[in-house]
Amino acid sequence: MHYDVIVIGAGSMGMSSGYYLSKKGQKVLLLDSFAPPHNKGSHHGETRIIRHAYGEGREYVSLALKSQKLWGELERISGQQLFLPTGVLNAGSQNSTFIKQVKAGSEEYGLPMKILDCHEIHDRWPGITLPEDYIGCYESTSGVLKSEECIKAYQQLAKAHGADIIVNSEVRKIVAHSNGVTVITDEQTFHSESLVVAVGAWAPKILAMLDLNLPLEPIRKTFAWFHANEKLYNHNDFPAFTFDTSVGTYYGFPSITGSGLKIGRHDGGQRINPDGCIEGFGELDEDEGDLMRFLGQYMPADQKMKYGKTCIYTMTPDEHFIVDKHPYYPHIAIAAGFSGHGFKFSSVMGEILSDLIISGTTKEDISLFSINRF
């Protein structure tokens, strides 16, 4: 069973790279321990925000804009609506580092953005109440990605370009050679010229097979949907949002076709072993409590929870990604540690990973994501 490239992990980054590699004529095998899209990783929960002026650093802005372009291409090729142009409201104190970065990125790249004070925000979206010293940075060209549908679209197109996809098959051993790779599962042994590793929370386990010990920490995260006043919170009138508050960083989504207001907390969480037993939503007191406190302060209506879910962040110490070639095996590319803000970039990351495999380099600036910083 010989391939040009094996991709271990067929989730967000893996499925995208499998598509771009197969599109470029590579004979590709995608392997996954589960059956993506699934509820074991970081991509489930129906939706993800894509924002352009980036509070995590201006270095991300060009990648966010390229990602938006590639998501548009995926929509056209697949014939599916994958992006909802809801706009995105980033809000917080005027002294917030996050807000300052958002404004700086907008100015540097000439992004369309409107700066609003707390009263202007409430007038435009009566469902939001903010403290006097808060401002909002509204991006009208940003919005919401249908995350699971995006993965399905890449999956269908990768198959159409000849990629093989094997699911529910756990990798037990990887042997890196100077000119190739051997990957062993319970059922089969595969060989390839090159390898992409994009396994989310299982990165520490898989990368250890390649003699890499990176500071990656899987974290249990939660989010929930709430019954919402559709006049206030429907997706045609209300934006997706990120609020940098004094008690934590929260994100959320409008009610999409009546689904309810979706809220999650970005910071915090509990360290986990992804192969162990992970508590379901509501098993910890703070699961619902964190979200209700946020709603009570910033969206004070009679919000009753519909249901909640858990997902996994895989954190790096600096919360920047790892996207690079293996330091000893240049035919192995690694994508890991997306720290809870990676999905929006999975379109461009797939293209970058395919470039690293085929040509050994990429035209995108990924210096911030170097493996050597660890």
Q: Are 307 and 224 in contact (CB under 8 A)?
A: yes
**E strand residue ranges, 227-300:** 240-245, 248-253, 261-265, 270-271
Whether 47 is catalytic is yes
Q: Is 369 exposed, middle or buried (0-12, 13-18, 19+ CB in 10 A)?
A: buried
**E strand residue ranges, the chain:** 2-8, 28-31, 47-50, 83-84, 88-93, 114-117, 134-139, 143-146, 164-166, 171-177, 180-185, 189-197, 217-226, 240-245, 248-253, 261-265, 270-271, 305-315, 322-325, 332-336
Catalytic residue among 23, 43, 47, 265: 47
Catalytic residue among 103, 262, 326, 341: 262
Q: Are 221 and 269 in contact (CB under 8 A)?
A: yes
Residue 347: strand, helix, or coil? helix
Amino acid letter for position 44: H
Whether 124 is catalytic is no
- Structural Rg of the chain based on CA atoms: 20
How crowded is residue 56: how many other Cβ atoms within 10 Å of its Cβ? 17
In angstroms, the CA 66 to CA 56 distance is: 17
Catalytic residue among 320, 326, 341, 344: 344
- At 12, which helix (H) or strand (E)? helix 12-23
Whether 48 is catalytic is yes
Catalytic residue among 43, 222, 310, 311: 311
Catalytic residue among 23, 40, 43, 44: 44
Whether 311 is catalytic is yes
Whether 262 is catalytic is yes
Catalytic residue among 23, 48, 220, 325: 48
Cis omega (within 30 of 0) for bond into 37: yes
Catalytic residue among 23, 266, 320, 325: 266
How crowded is residue 343: how many other Cβ atoms within 10 Å of its Cβ? 24
How crowded is residue 342: how many other Cβ atoms within 10 Å of its Cβ? 22
In angstroms, the CA 322 to CA 342 distance is: 11
Active site residues: 44, 47-48, 262, 266, 311, 344
